Structure 1
Amino acid sequence: MMNSKTMLHDFVRRLTLRDDPDEIQGIAYQVFEHLFHLSRTEMLMGKEIIPTAAEEDRLAEIVTRLNRHEPIQYVLGEAYFFGRKFAVSSAVLIPRPETEELVQAILHHSLPGEPDSLSILDIGTGSGCIATTLALELRPAKVYATDVSPAALQVATQNANTLQASVSFLPHNILTEPLPFTNLSAVVSNPPYITTREQAAMHANVLDYEPHLALFVPDDDPLLFYRAIAARAFPALVSKGLLAVEINEQYAAAVEEAFRAAGFSNMKTVRDIPGKDRIVMAVKP
C-alpha cells in the first residue's frame, strides 16, 4: 500500500519544468486522476493505493515525457473541450479555450432555417472538437467536417463515435478543391493562422509537438486559408448563412476585408476573454 498524497508529492519533485508551481500541481492532479482514477479529495486525504508494476512504469514514462516539454494532453492522450473529453494525438491540435468561444459564438447566432433543417460544415476539423460539439449542441442539425490529414480524420471520427455525435467526415483540401456541399446554414473553421516569423516567440511544447500543418501559414500570405474558405463557402451557403472563423489577432481587419471581397456582409470581430481579436463572423446576403 502506498499513500497517494506522498506519491503525488514525489511525482511533483521529479518534474523539472519551469512552469508556475500551481500549474505543475495541476498537471500532477491530472496525471493521478487519469492513471489511478483518484479524485483530488482522495489525493489530499492520502488515500492508500496499490500501484501495479505497469502503472509505476507508466508514471515514470509520463515524467520523462513531461520533462521533455511534451504537452500533458498528448502524454495522456486526452483533452477537454466544452466539458467533454476528446482523444488527441500529435496528428491534431490540442483544443483550446478560445476555440470554445468560437463555438459559443455560433450557438448564440440565429442560423437560417428550422433546427431539423440546419446543416453545418467545419473546415479543417482536426480532433473534431468543433464539429462534434456543434452536432451535440444543435441536434438534429446535419454536421459535416473535412480535413486534409487522414490521421486527423481518424482521431476526429473516433471522438464523434465515442461521444455519440452524428458527424459526416471526409478528406478535403480547401486550398485546391471546391466544396462538395450546397445549402449550408453555417461554415466554421479554425484554420492555420500563425506566421512563420512568429515561431521565435512560441513555447517549445507547442513548436516541438503540435502539427505544423495545422499551425502555420507563410509570412507573405497570412490570409491564404481565409481567402480560400470565403471563396468556397460563399456559393455553398444559403442566404443569411453564417461564416465564422478563428483568427490571428493581428489580422482581424484584413480577414473582414477578404470576406467582404468574397461577397459577405455584416462582418463582426469578436474578442476572446483575454481581450484579443479572435473570431470573425460574416453573413451571406
Structure 2
Amino acid sequence: MKLKAYRDFFTDKLAPLYDREEANQFFVIALQHLKGWSRTDIALNPDAELTKNEFEQWNAVLADLEQQKPIQYIFGKAYFYGLEFTVTENTLIPRPETEELVEWIIEENADKGKIKLLDIGTGSGCIAIALAHNLKNAEVHAIDVSAGAIKVAKQNAIDNGVNVTFIEMDILPTPSLSEEYDVIVSNPPYVRNLEKQEIKKNVLDYEPHTALFVDDNNPLLFYDKIAALAKESLKPDGKLYFEINQYLGSETVTMLEEQDYKNIILKKDLSGNDRMIKAEL
C-alpha cells in the first residue's frame, strides 16, 4: 500500500473517535517517529510504498489510538515549552496550561539575580526542567513521591542539558523542607473524583491516578500542605505559584488568605478558566 493511501485509511479509521484535524495530527506525529518524515516528504515522495514491517508498525499505532491510548505514551515522548520529554505510565503528559504557568514564572524572575527554586510534584520534570533551561540564574530542585517519576525526570534533565536536583519525597507527612527557596511552584493532584465523568478515556485509562485525583472531601489537601511548608521555607519576598482546579479558584484563594499569604493573584488560562495562583508572604 502507498503511504499516501494509508494516510487516508488511518484518518478514516480514527474519525469516529477524534476530529479529522486531530487524526491528521496523529498521522504526522507517527510519520515523524516511524519514518523520520514530515508531511512535506509525503508530497515529495507520492509513490512511497509501505514495507510489510512498516505496515505492521503503523497498524499497531492505529490499534493503540483506537483504544484511545495517548500518542505521547505510544511513542514515549511529549513536548513542553519547546523541549522534548520522555513520558511513561509513571508520569502525566505535560499540558499546554502548565506552559502558561511556566511562562508566568519566567517573566517574573528572569531579570533577578541568583535564585533557588523548588518544584513540588515534578512528574516528568517538565516544570523544573523548563525553568532551569530558561532561568540561567536559577538553582532548581524538584520533589516527587514516585521513584518511577524521579527516574524519568532525571533522564529528562540530562537529555535537555540542565542541572536539577531531584528528591524522592512524600510531602504530606513531611514536617518541613530542609532548605529555603525564592520560588516554590507546584502542580499537584487536583481533580476531584466527582469530576471523573468529565475526564476523557485517554486520560482516565492511561495516566497515573495518584498524580491526578484527590478525595472529594478534601480537594485542597496538597495545596494546604504545600502552602504550610512554603510559609516556613520561602525567603523574604519569596513567591508561591500553583496550578489549580478551575472550579476551586476562590476556595484556593481563601485557603491562602487563611494562611496569611498576601498579594494573591488568581489568573485565568487562555481558555478563560481559573488556572494559576501566585501568593507572597
- Where 1:30 maps in the other structure, the secondary structure is helix
Cα distance change, pair 53–247 in 1 and its aligned pair in 2 (3 A): same
Contact 1:150–1:171 (CA under 8 A) maintained in structure 2: yes
Per-residue CA shift, 1:255-276, capped at 9, x if unaligned? 1121222232100001000100
Identify the residue that residue 233 of structure 1 maps to in structure 2: 230
Shift of 1:48: 5.0
Identify the residue that residue 251 of structure 2 maps to in structure 1: 254
Structure 2, unmatched stretches of 5+, are none
More divergent stretch after superposition (40-49 vs 221-230): 40-49
Identify the residue that residue 62 of structure 2 maps to in structure 1: 63
Contact 2:244–2:277 (CA under 8 A) maintained in structure 1: yes
Cα distance change, pair 42–261 in 1 and its aligned pair in 2 (3 A): same
Identify the residue that residue 264 of structure 2 maps to in structure 1: 267
Cα distance change, pair 51–168 in 1 and its aligned pair in 2 (3 A): farther
Name the CA distance, whole Å, in 1 between partners of 2:212 and 2:53. 35
Shift of 1:110: 4.1
Q: Is 2:68 the counterpart of 1:72?
A: no
Q: Is 2:174 the counterpart of 1:177?
A: yes
- Where 2:188 maps in the other structure, the secondary structure is coil
Name the CA distance, whole Å, in 1 between partners of 2:93 and 2:115. 28
Shift of 1:239: 0.7
Contact 1:17–1:69 (CA under 8 A) maintained in structure 2: no
Name the CA distance, whole Å, in 2 between partners of 1:17 and 1:164. 41
Identify the residue that residue 12 of structure 1 maps to in structure 2: 11
Structure 1, unmatched stretches of 5+, are none
Q: Percent identity?
A: 39
Shift of 1:201: 2.0
Identify the residue that residue 193 of structure 1 maps to in structure 2: 190
What is the alpha-carbon root mean square deviation over aligned residues? 1.8
Identify the residue that residue 88 of structure 2 maps to in structure 1: 89
Kindly report which structure 2 residues correspond to 1:126-205, keeping only aligned pairs within 5 A, or say none.
Answer: 126-205=123-202
Contact 1:122–1:131 (CA under 8 A) maintained in structure 2: yes
Shift of 1:50: 6.1
Identify the residue that residue 214 of structure 2 maps to in structure 1: 217
The alignment of Structure 1 onto Structure 2 pairs a total of residues equal to 281
Name the CA distance, whole Å, in 2 between partners of 1:111 and 1:19. 39
Contact 2:142–2:165 (CA under 8 A) maintained in structure 1: yes
Cα distance change, pair 230–179 in 1 and its aligned pair in 2 (3 A): same
Q: TM-score, normalised by structure 2?
A: 0.94
Name the CA distance, whole Å, in 1 between partners of 2:50 and 2:111. 54
Cα distance change, pair 229–109 in 1 and its aligned pair in 2 (3 A): same
Name the CA distance, whole Å, in 2 between partners of 1:123 and 1:8. 42
Contact 1:113–1:185 (CA under 8 A) maintained in structure 2: no
Identify the residue that residue 276 of structure 1 maps to in structure 2: 273
Name the CA distance, whole Å, in 1 between partners of 2:237 and 2:111. 6
Contact 2:15–2:23 (CA under 8 A) maintained in structure 1: no
- Where 1:119 maps in the other structure, the secondary structure is strand
Identify the residue that residue 36 of structure 2 maps to in structure 1: 37
Contact 1:126–1:147 (CA under 8 A) maintained in structure 2: yes
Amino acid paired to 1:100: E
Contact 1:189–1:246 (CA under 8 A) maintained in structure 2: yes
Cα distance change, pair 111–267 in 1 and its aligned pair in 2 (3 A): farther
Cα distance change, pair 54–140 in 1 and its aligned pair in 2 (3 A): farther
Shift of 1:34: 1.3
Shift of 1:76: 1.3
- Where 2:108 maps in the other structure, the secondary structure is coil
Amino acid paired to 1:228: K
Shift of 1:130: 0.2
- Where 2:247 maps in the other structure, the secondary structure is helix
Identify the residue that residue 107 of structure 1 maps to in structure 2: 106
